[in-house]
Chains A and B, each alone.
Chain A
Amino acid sequence: MGKTLLKIENLNATIEGKSILKGINLEIKEGEVHAIMGPNGSGKSTLASVLAGREIFEVTDGHVEFMGKDLLSMAPEERSREGVFLAFQYPIEIPGVSITNFMKAAVSQHREHKGLEPLSPSEFLKLMKEKKELVEIEAKLANRAVNEGFSGGEKKKNEVFQMAMLEPKLAILDETDSGLDIDALRIVANGVNKLKNSENATLVITHYQRLLDYIVPDVVHVLYDGKIVKTGGKELALELEEKGYDWIKKEVQV
């Protein structure tokens, strides 16, 4: 087994005084794929946001270590440069900022952080082209403003494209499959799989087993009411698909 990438201990978080995460423990090692499932409003996106550094959530207790470093003390941009990537459940539109300029700024700051020379304009364009092909993004999309007027599917592809550009150590995919038709789902999943290797890890948040047919998890967790209440192998996802969450809720209450 690989080294530990991410170690979450007793993570508690609130928003506007409301407790959302109530003691999360989770460990992810290099080369692993974890899935988190759970009913609406259980705190899945909150967990993802807290890991990415969204300030509106307040961490009230707990500790997160990422590659041996204290993740929670880092600014969002540092987390990204260290290798954390969040594909947003609802990517927002940024009028006036083209994907090309956006990625140019991001890649250059990532390279600077790693002590690498900046890419030449032609090297950058080559990288863009290569990664666009990986998620089958139309070439002209890159000249448009980030997510502006994109269809749901295009937004999700754009997230995976950005992930491909930045090659994170830990990719958190928050319902990247929601709202995709089967063809788009296959493309997105293939893109994610191609980026997988023995040194990085993927955390997929999903409601649907069908994604997990493509991105096969090593571990499946169930998040309910701010806690991980069950952890199992990939067969747990099938069981949830079949039986829903009620039996888990009952288990928790007992």
Chain B
Amino acid sequence: MALKNQISKEDFLAVFRDEPINTLLGTNGDNGNGLNFTTIDFPNKTEEEWRHTSINKILQHRFGLGKTVSLDKKTVDLFTIPGLDAYRLVFINGYYNPDLSDEIEKAGKLLVKSSAKVKKEHPEIFNKYYKSTDLGSENFFTTLNTAYATNGSFIYLPDNAVLDKPVHIINFSDGQDSKTISQYRNVFYAGKNSKAQIVNSFHSLTVNYTLTNVATEIIVDENAFLNFNIFQGEGDDAFQMNHTKVFQHRNSNFSSHTITLCGAIVRNDIHIKHLDEGCETNLNGLYLPDREQHFDNHIFVHHAKPHGTSNQIYKGIIDNKASAVFLGKVLVDRDAQKTLAAQSNRNVLLTKYAKVNSKPQLEIYADDVACSHGSTTGQIDKEALFYLQSRGIDRRNAETLLLSAFLSDVIENIQVEPLKILVKLLINKRLKGEKVEGQCSMIEACHGCDPID
């Protein structure tokens, strides 16, 4: 059923059928005819997974494929993380910008490149890992991504490879000329005993309606360590669907930090599967929706084998009429004995209009496990506020102190030190109601966050 002002699925998809697309990743340029969109529909609120995520606002727009926009290094430098020495991959509206990127290709096949290039230059590697998780069929958006993603980042770490610097993937969206959809398909493979840190940041160049649809497939092989950071600072009219699927092999370690500071509707899905024994997963998130923004985090951790560990800590501060969702599910199979799993979601609502739906869930079929979950949602502690004020600290500063204390453990967990420092700075500015230029979002794209009150 189409809601008011909502365009039809056919209209939404028309752009992909009508325009010739040369850089399609998934379908060898067959314009997606191989995928059957008649049986897969827009997500709707009757589905448990989408009950609290209204995408009606997204479906009011007819998005087109954007153009690649030329960017100078100076502009891109605005979005680098101060002090972060990294290999950079830069994309605009779904297109790769080789001039602003640092590709790596080393003997032994260590690769940091665009997905399209790897497809062309190393089809055997590309085909082995692309679509090797079952992410493609999760929902409408991942299917759309599989059919029509233009490009993305491909990181391939052979066995024992240790990246000397983090990889920083910068995705810009720019809807200046028309409402633009950008689709990225990322594939990361971390070979046995390898280690790497990846930061994927999202920014808008202008304030316009854009939709960024990201699908990331991650395979962490035996004993490998992969740390993945998602930093979302797109503009106030930017929508984002971001789906990450991780397959972990024996004794591997995967950690993530999802930092959502700006965007109109942002939905993050992170699905983890432990394919073998002894895997460890640490998922961290912080989100600060403001105005009428809506930020979602959906986690699914599937413990399929024994001796696995997983931790989730997600914290949010919700301002004005904004809303947030945390849906975290841990599934422990009958075989997954000795699983240790912990889930925690805590929220602070700054106004009476702010909303949060929080639902940590455990589904356990093994009997010898230690699992815990907890969720709290509240306001700023009035008594703590008074205590600080009674020592001469004004209300605004007192609130900032309390809220940054509330987020501090999740921020301290961030492993990429320069990112941690940046996030701390941005959040402190945000809590003080100071405008942040050229860092969080783009100068023009950022309306500046409303001061808390």
Contacts and interface: CB of A to CB of B under 8 A. Distances in A.
Nearest to A76: B389
A105 B397 contact: yes
Interface string B386-399: 11111111110110
Interface in A66-123: 75-77, 79-81, 85-86, 88, 91-92, 94-97, 101-103, 105-106, 109-110, 113
A75 B397 contact: no
B75 interface: no
A237 interface: no
Nearest to B404: A96
Interface residues of A, number: 31
Contact of A109 (B394, B402, B405): B394
A9 B300 CA distance: 63
A53 B401 contact: no
Interface in B384-426: 384, 386-395, 397-398, 401-402, 404-406, 408-409
Contact of B392 (A88, A94, A96, A109): A109
Contact of B388 (A88, A94, A166): A94
Given A95-B405, A96-B406, A101-B401, A77 B389 contact: yes
Interface in B271-310: none
A53 B392 contact: no
A97 B401 contact: yes
Nearest to A54: B386
Given A54-B386, A94-B387, A102-B388, A77 B405 contact: no
Contacts of A102: 388, 391, 393, 401
Interface in A205-225: none
B383 interface: yes
A207 to B, nearest CB: 23
B405 A97 contact: yes
A176 interface: no
Given A97-B402, A102-B401, A105-B401, A92 B391 contact: no
Contacts of B391: 77, 80, 102-103, 106, 162, 166
Interface of A: 52-55, 75-77, 79-81, 85-86, 88, 91-92, 94-97, 101-103, 105-106, 109-110, 113, 145-146, 162, 166
Given A55-B386, A96-B408, 14 more contacts: A53-B389, A76-B386, A77-B391, A77-B394, A80-B391, A85-B390, A91-B387, A94-B405, A96-B406, A97-B402, A101-B401, A102-B393, A106-B388, A106-B393
14 contacts: A53-B386, A54-B386, A55-B386, A76-B390, A80-B391, A91-B387, A92-B383, A92-B387, A94-B388, A96-B406, A105-B393, A105-B397, A105-B401, A110-B392
